[in-house]
């Protein structure tokens, strides 16, 4: 591993026995931390970048300079980098013995104050009957940090693109995509999929009497009640549109869907949001349409939505503040 470099200073060394000045200068011109090994792990030569890295990390030449056995050092490694050192030693041995033409591995090498990533590579060459292995370590921290920043930015963009800005639950785009994927998955597994469509009773009257700011607060409270009721990792709570919400319940039959529906209504009742507009009750209530299907490969996912919507209409026609199933 790169942490096992020689502790010599960053300046180029004089040519050693068996290492020509031209060869040493060539090695020193490379930016990678480089060492040339015999197949048994004995270091024949190192370059200036290897020396500089070692000096900066306080590592002794007896561990990683010419004459030291790099594989022995890797085998004896302890701490956070021990596993990577073992894998590196194994890869170098495989290259040295001709089992594979090359080896490459990216690995972290963090300290309490800094985070670094390296790529170690090993290749072999022969001079007459002698075989040597070239080991290089490249600091790829800048690339890794840039990749992680890009991944996080993409994740945040995906969250923004699929989240309802007012309530914080999934938006219609994510709902449509999730329902389509779950429909296909349940068609393959022949398991039931349930959907709840949730509508706020007399919401227009609520907005007219209390104002849109209170209406926004009401929608956020309802989204919270839904999220507290549909808690499994695969459940999806989404704002379907306006004052309507939807809950996708994977691998859930009719009894489970109705249980969730009643839990939603109960949690909203506990919140005690006052309504009181003419023609409405004293508290904000919900009407919920439930539907359950075991998808067929020829059926569209819209069939589940249509059934839930029909059940929602029945719940409203029956007096609101209740859940009905499409049965």
CA torsion, ordered 139, 141, 146, 148, to nearest 10 deg: 130
Active site residue 83: no
How far apart, in Å, are the Cα atoms of 276 and each of 49, 201, 209, 322? Answer: 77, 12, 9, 18
How far apart, in Å, are the Cα atoms of 155 and each of 57, 151, 168, 198, 279? Answer: 35, 6, 16, 29, 45
Separation of alpha carbons 232 and 194, rounded Å: 14
- At 233, list the tokens: 């990792």
- Phi and psi at 57, nearest 5°, equal -110, 10
- Phi and psi at 153, nearest 5°, equal -65, -40
How far apart, in Å, are the Cα atoms of 279 and each of 49, 127, 200, 215, 265? Answer: 81, 95, 14, 17, 20
Separation of alpha carbons 316 and 199, rounded Å: 9
Considering 243, 251, 262, 314, which one is annotated as catalytic? 243
H or E stretch at 126:
strand 117-127
Separation of alpha carbons 46 and 37, rounded Å: 9
Separation of alpha carbons 171 and 173, rounded Å: 5
Q: Which residues are catalytic?
A: 243
């Amino acid at each position: 591993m790169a942490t096992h470099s020689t502790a010599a200073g960053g300046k180029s060394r004089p040519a050693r026995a068996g290492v020509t000045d031209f060869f040493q200068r060539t090695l020193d011109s490379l930016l990678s931390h480089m060492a040339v090994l015999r197949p048994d792990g004995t270091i024949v030569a190192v370059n200036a970048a290897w020396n500089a890295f070692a000096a900066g990390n306080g590592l002794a030449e007896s561990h990683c300079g010419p004459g030291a056995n790099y594989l022995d050092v890797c085998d004896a490694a302890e701490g956070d980098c021990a596993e990577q050192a073992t894998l590196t030693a194994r890869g170098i041995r495989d290259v040295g013995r001709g089992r594979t033409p090359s080896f490459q591995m990216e690995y972290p090498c963090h300290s309490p104050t800094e985070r670094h990533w390296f790529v170690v590579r090993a290749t072999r060459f022969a001079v007459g009957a002698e075989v040597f292995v070239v080991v290089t370590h490249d600091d790829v921290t800048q690339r890794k940090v840039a990749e992680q920043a890009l991944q996080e930015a993409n994740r945040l963009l995906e969250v923004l693109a699929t989240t309802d800005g007012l309530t914080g639950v999934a938006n219609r785009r994510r709902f449509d995509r999730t329902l389509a994927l779950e429909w296909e998955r349940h068609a393959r597994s022949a398991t039931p999929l349930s959907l709840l469509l949730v509508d706020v009773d007399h919401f227009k009257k609520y907005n007219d009497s209390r104002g849109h700011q209170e209406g926004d607060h009401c929608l956020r409270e309802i989204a919270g009640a839904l999220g507290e009721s549909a808690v499994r990792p695969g459940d999806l709570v989404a704002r379907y549109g306006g004052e309507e919400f939807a809950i996708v319940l994977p691998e859930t039959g009719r009894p489970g869907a109705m249980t969730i529906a009643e839990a939603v209504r109960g949690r909203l009742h506990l919140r005690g949001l006052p309504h009181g507009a003419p023609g409405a009750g004293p508290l904000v209530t919900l009407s919920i349409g439930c539907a359950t299907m075991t998808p067929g490969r020829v059926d569209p996912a819209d069939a589940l939505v249509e059934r839930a919507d029909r059940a929602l209409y029945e719940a409203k026609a029956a007096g609101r503040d209740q859940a009905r199933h499409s049965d």
